[in-house]
Amino acid sequence: MQNNKKAIWYEKAANRWFEALPVGNGRLGGMVYGGIAQERIDLTESTCYSGKVEEGNKDTASTFVPKVREALCKRDFHKAEELSNKVTGIRDNYGTHLPMGSLNIAFDVSEKDASKYKRSLDLDKAITQATFNMGDVHYKREIFASNPDQVIAIKLSSSKEKKLGFVISYDGEQRPHQVISDGIDIMLTGRAIEERHTKENCGVSYSVCTRVLIQDGSMTNSDGVLIVTNATQAILYIAMHTTFNHNDANKLCMEQITAAQKKGYSKILDEHIRDYSKLFSRVDFDIACENRLNIPTDKRLEKVKNGVEDHGLTALMFHYARYLLISSSRENSPLPAHLQGVWNDNVACNIGWTCDMHLDINTQMNYWPAQTTNLSECTKPLFDWIENTLVPSGRQTAKKSYACKGWVAHTVSNPWGYTAPGAATYWGFHPTGGAWIATHMWEHYLYSKDMDFLRDHAYPVLKAAAEFFMDYMFVDPMTGYLVTGPSHSPENQFIIDDGKFTIGLMPTCDIAILIALFDACIEGAKILGMDQTFARTLEEAKSKFPPYQVGKYGQLQEWLEDYEEALPHHRHTSHLLGVYPFGQITPEKTPDLIQAVRTSIQRRTIPEENWEDTGWARSMLIAYFTRLWDGDMAYHHILAMQRLITETNLFVIDPPSAGAEVDVYELDGNTGLCACIAEMFLQSYDGEIHLLPAIPKVWEEGYITGLCAVGGYEVDIYVKHNQLNRAIIRGEVPGMVTVKYKGHKKEVQLNHKGVGEVSFATLDG
């Protein structure tokens, strides 16, 4: 394991969640602790939610929207905030994702007698292991989550016969549950009930079934536990289901573990590796550096926190993020990745945020690496949820809350497609949240050139979102601009005279999102040869949007007018979305705005210790600097992420903030980092493939292969002496592609196989 560059490993067991290692198959999740005498696996399933279908729109909301707008047009923000409370959503039974409980295996060994302990996660194969010796007996545990067979599989073995003894039990947390065993299976059943987020005892029912198959020895059951003695080997299959999509969760579990038993562990393992590897192996990445593969991961991280720079650890975190996305979101996943992917620390679900689909940055960032790092299939559950759940619900919200056509969604949503405004004005009025997540469908088309997907899925969703805004927007009499409102800049407040306010007209983030939305509809209509009248209407409307503006401090203005920020060091920087992800503000196209962007970042982050540091917010800073072509500053924030907010198991955390009193895991910190590293090597907006736009000086030699570019291209990039050595570009057909490097542009011909090669001499000469 020490020679595996894509392995996370330790010389001691986990004592807490942030030391455990994750396994997942896109629906099932497990956090594996690797204890010697006591193994613990925290179990999750992506549909295990409290709450229920709840529209959330107030019956009279649409009658108050014109009154809010009237107050906003008069800049009477006190009145606007007061009236907006009549439009906010209802969240009586909104719910949250919940953990199912823990599987505990108590072994008949003495921890103090163990030697040569090691536990690991092999990212190439998506398998966790724990090994140790007890005298002359070698013990090994192997755990993985199979997507083809929809089980978590565990193999326990000893090198000598009949040296394996253990007791299996469940911990069902604080929720109503029951545990029974029948001599071969142990079953946990319960209800996903969480009182903080529901007024009724509503939530899915769930079942967790573990089947135990032993070689040698005997097995008995007693009072909800299974007892194994004198075995040589044991195979465990864990199946989990809820009633979210099925009437009988227990029946499904039994069918799957029976099928797994019939197939056998070896076949399940082989199919798991093939199935997972076909996604993970598409991209490779390495940076030449001092070899630290013989150092456990926690000690490598500790060295970085104490001032060492470890480029190999950065590469490992890039690979880890792709592993986490694959583990959280597969083509057959019933739901997209929630705030914590497919896992649950039992913390996020117990604070005000809830563990759900946040649409003001988090769900978007979860999926940022999908297109660029060759994991396009992982977006399918997101697109299915948008099209089949979010849009139908959003049509009701558009009609009931705003009396508008089309569809709309706001700051938060859940498995049932909650789309109403949030329950509080200071965070809930983000009407472009749905439009923003919908632009991921356009991105998928740009990368795949899948005309069927554009025609049948993406364009109808995008058009209906644009129809809402054509109905929702109005002309501000003070400025003459076509604006949104009520709306806010997540989740910052502005100061005017004697008050702090959130609700305003056309914050800058709305400009960025609606330009992206309208442009996608206009271009999509052109490609499909339809809706030209509608496209012209969007063009005309877009010409009336407010421009990006520079404020009195030289910053990119966050609101329609140049207000003071209530929190100058706020974690959200939504007014910079035009830089990333949308590429509307670039050093080439808008050089006059680039310094304003830098000033905005400086005002947010200097002094840096005052900034509200979170995983996703730090990823945003890295992303912005990649688009400013400043690799050294992007690298500075990668180091800061590793040193300040990366945990022992390489989860990127949110430190206590925004109502959280403890560290909280969010998937977006890891996936955001991954997407940003890809951007440092390759950017492909505006019809060009830009090589090494933000490579830091310290990355002197390395490579990244299999990245994807807009237009359906794959790109391999090799770096030597901190410069482009060569790049290989692959497309489906021969043709010309525009390549950019260090200010040089060149048309590169792809040969009859759709392959072209670029070297530093080619572009520099």
Q: pLDDT tier at 273 (50, 70, 90 boundaries)?
A: very high
- In whole angstroms, give the CA distance from residue 215 to residue 509: 61
- In whole angstroms, give the CA distance from residue 621 to residue 616: 9
- In whole angstroms, give the CA distance from residue 765 to residue 760: 8
| Backbone Cα Rg of the chain | 26
Which residues contact residue 420 at a Cβ distance below 8 angstroms, ignoring those fewer than 6 apart? 55, 56, 57, 89, 90, 397, 401, 410
Q: In this predicted structure, what is the pLDDT of residue 1?
A: 46
Beta strands in 249-401 (DSSP E): 284-287, 357-358
**Pair of tokens at residue 683:** 């950017």
Length of the chain: 765
Q: In this predicted structure, what is the pLDDT of residue 113?
A: 92
Q: In this predicted structure, what is the pLDDT of residue 222?
A: 86
Average pLDDT on 120-130 reads 98
DSSP state of 482: E
pLDDT in tens, 348-390: 998 888 999 999 999 999 999 999 999 999 999 999 999 999 9
Average pLDDT on 719-728 reads 96
Q: In this predicted structure, what is the pLDDT of residue 497?
A: 85
**Pair of tokens at residue 236:** 């465990």
Q: In this predicted structure, what is the pLDDT of residue 694?
A: 98
pLDDT in tens, 246-263: 999 999 999 999 999 999
Average pLDDT on 24-38 reads 98
Give yes or no for a contact between 446 and 423, defined as CB atoms under 8 angstroms apart: no
- In whole angstroms, give the CA distance from residue 183 to residue 163: 20
Query: What SS3 state is found at 24?
Result: strand
pLDDT in tens, 326-350: 999 999 999 999 999 999 999 999 8
Which residues contact residue 384 at a Cβ distance below 8 angstroms, ignoring those fewer than 6 apart? none
Dihedral angle sign, alpha carbons of residues 633, 584, 359, 676 = negative
Residue whose token pair is 């330009």: 515
Strand 205-215 versus strand 137-146 pairing type: unpaired
Average pLDDT on 184-207 reads 92
Q: pLDDT tier at 183 (50, 70, 90 boundaries)?
A: confident
Query: What SS3 state is found at 176?
Result: coil
- In whole angstroms, give the CA distance from residue 669 to residue 674: 9
Average pLDDT on 420-436 reads 95
- In whole angstroms, give the CA distance from residue 668 to residue 367: 8
pLDDT in tens, 503-519: 999 999 999 999 999 99
Q: pLDDT tier at 765 (50, 70, 90 boundaries)?
A: low
- In whole angstroms, give the CA distance from residue 551 to residue 9: 49
**Pair of tokens at residue 224:** 């909800």
Average pLDDT on 611-624 reads 95
pLDDT in tens, 291-328: 999 999 999 999 999 999 999 999 999 999 999 999 99
Q: At residue 164, does pLDDT exceed 90? A: yes
CA atoms within 13 A on the CB side of 614: 25
- In whole angstroms, give the CA distance from residue 120 to residue 228: 25
Q: At residue 658, does pLDDT exceed 80? A: no
The least confident of 456-470, 614-628, 650-664, 703-717 is: 650-664
Give yes or no for a contact between 158 and 138, defined as CB atoms under 8 angstroms apart: yes
Q: pLDDT tier at 764 (50, 70, 90 boundaries)?
A: low
Average pLDDT on 628-645 reads 98
379: nearest Cα among 317, 455, 445: 445
DSSP state of 557: P
- In whole angstroms, give the CA distance from residue 30 to residue 23: 5
Q: In this predicted structure, what is the pLDDT of residue 2?
A: 54
- In whole angstroms, give the CA distance from residue 426 to residue 570: 14
DSSP state of 135: T
Question: Percent helix, strand and coil across the chain, each rounded to 5?
Answer: 35, 25, 40
- In whole angstroms, give the CA distance from residue 43 to residue 29: 6
Query: Using N-to-C axis directions, what is the helix angle for 311-328 and 297-305, rounded to 10°?
Result: 120
User: HEC profile for 671-695?
Assistant: HHHHHHHHHHHEECCCCCEEECCCC
